[in-house]
Amino acid sequence: MNEQQRKQQSQIRTEQANVDRIKKTSSEDMIAKYFQQEYEPQSPDIKQARKRKREDVQFHYDFSIPEDMEKIGHGKKFLIRTYGCQMNEHDTEVMAGILSEMGYESTTVTEEADIILLNTCAIRENAENKVFGEIGHLKPLKLENPDLIIGVCGCMSQEESVVDRILQKHQHIDLIFGTHNIHRLPHLVKEALFGKEMIVEVWSKEGDIIENLPKARKGKIKAWVNIMYGCDKFCTYCIVPMTRGKERSRRPKDIIQEVRHLVAQGYQEVTLLGQNVNAYGKDFEDIEYGLGDLMNDIHKIDIPRVRFTTSHPRDFDDRLIEVLAQGGNLLDHIHLPVQSGSSEILKKMNRKYTREEYLELVRKIRIAMPNATLTTDIIVGFPNETEEQFEETMTLVEEVGFEAAYTFIYSPREGTPAARKKDDVPEEVKKQRLYRLNELVNKQSAASMKDYAGKKVKVLVEGESKKDPEVLAGYTEKNKLVNFKGPKSSIGKIVEVEITETKTWSLNGVMVENTVEVN
Ligand code: SAM
Ligand code: SF4
């Protein structure tokens, strides 16, 4: 952490010895104290966010757990509940790593936990509602056990309205910290434990890049690797540029070292992570090095599978296509969020490409990678979307032949430009559109699955199927879920499976004898 960040940090300490005292304090008092402090309210503000500059990102390689916190968790347990995207899942791995280094053990039993963290998502209103529901459910537990530390972190904690609401209505929360404050977890836990204070630490300025954070990864087969943080695209519906800060890329050597390290530990697959990975390297001032270059370097590493997510079509350049076309460990499944098939809506979304440009990009990808599978994200019911504009989305889905899509009804997010727009599309119409779109996507997915009948596919075996422990489950190179009968010894390996049955979203099969790849 540097001095500048310290100045920018928004830290509130309210006097609050325990839950009883919280209950006695009126919410008005709490809020008055909250705003008396140096904290500057940070409603998501697009104008402010756009003013941010590229400079000032510093790299830190000296993270360590303070000596007096190394054993603080001995005999205690933590539970982190994660909402939202892969970025949050990976942040949870980092927080779990930090807590483990402090001596805590993980648990999945809420009643057993001494620390509960809710790692939240702000992307849509229903994601936020779920979190507030969970915050409410945890209150009796805190009343029973005042020593329990409950924390709220992740994207929601970057929103002033959320912090405000927690202070007013959910005073059983001990700790709120932002997406740029994760490495401060040991200090925050210490303050929550010993100071018996309610802590709010939300840095409005994005953090520097902290390199050697510990990670307690979920599983030993597939791993997330952050390649960049933040987003500067400012799509008009999206809160991410405000909750995650400006785009900042990790140095190539650090990423490559992390991937090599994962190989040494036996991982079979890495997914390179960022909100907009195609912008990787654009913030480097000393080197010309983009996602294509990084993929090219990772291509040479002996790891069987490399994926990346999420791609923004605008920055998907020819260099990347050329590199991906080499194949090998670079898989030919590309997740390319389109959001809408209407150029007019795309313009209003500030996506900075037209329908035609998106289709041209797809054409180029298909020339270079004829077998590539494309999947996407789509929003229906953007303010004032007409039936014709929605139809354009439907025709684009057909034309591209997406094999899967994450589909959403537009959800207004406070502080984003789209949320200020009047919207004349009734909710019922939006739901109908989502239904029609999902029907089409399901139909296309099922049709793509049918092509696999009788074929052999390579499956990275992840473990027993959730529904039947006698059945194993894993994913193909194109990310299709396969359930099959095979020996447990194949877990963690890539095996060949012959497909015997196809469903809309998964395939069933039998393992081809003696096909375990020794990696
Ligand atoms: N960076 C990625 C991109 O540009 O496609 C997307 C990241 S965002 C976490 C995941 C998806 O959530 C988006 O692709 C979009 O479809 C959806 N999303 C974002 N904001 C939304 C909103 N306000 N309402 C509904 N869906 C939204
Ligand atoms: Fe949000 Fe993705 Fe647009 Fe960034 S590129 S603003 S994360 S939708």
Assess whether the previous peptide bond of 310 is cis (omega < 30° from 0).
yes
Q: Please check the confidence at residue 44 and state whether its pLDDT lies above 70.
A: no
More confident residue, 515 or 411: 411
Q: Please check the confidence at residue 18 and state whether its pLDDT lies above 80.
A: no
Reference 85, options 263, 249, 229; nearest CA is 229
Please state, for a pLDDT cut of 90, what percent of the chain lies above it: 83
Ligand 1 and 124: CB distance under 6 A: yes
> Partners of 511 in the beta sheet?
497
Q: Please check the confidence at residue 208 and state whether its pLDDT lies above 60.
A: yes
* Per-residue pLDDT tens over the stretch 219-268: 999 999 999 999 999 999 999 999 999 999 999 999 999 999 999 999 99
Mean pLDDT, residues 291-302 taken together:
97
More confident residue, 9 or 94: 94
Q: Which of 52, 229, 275, 408 to mutate to test the pocket of ligand 2 (most atoms within 8 A of CB)?
A: 275
Of 73-87, 187-201, 362-376, 483-497, which gets the smallest average pLDDT?
187-201
Please state whether the predicted TM-score (pTM) of the whole model is above 0.85. Answer: yes
Q: Please check the confidence at residue 17 and state whether its pLDDT lies above 50.
A: no
**Which residue's CA is the nearest one to ligand 2's atom 3?**
235
> Partners of 176 in the beta sheet?
152, 200
Instruction: Label residue 194 by pLDDT band (50, 70, 90).
Output: confident
Ligand 2 and 231: CB distance under 6 A: yes
Q: Which of 379, 413, 441 to mutate to test the pocket of ligand 1 (most atoms within 8 A of CB)?
A: 379
- 3-class SS of residue 218: coil
The pLDDT score that the predictor gives to residue 513 is: 76
* Per-residue pLDDT tens over the stretch 306-356: 999 999 999 999 999 999 999 999 999 999 999 999 999 999 999 999 999
Sheet holding 175-177, edge to edge: 11-14, 198-201, 175-177, 149-154, 115-120, 77-82, 105-106
Q: Are 211 and 198 in contact (CB under 8 A)?
A: no
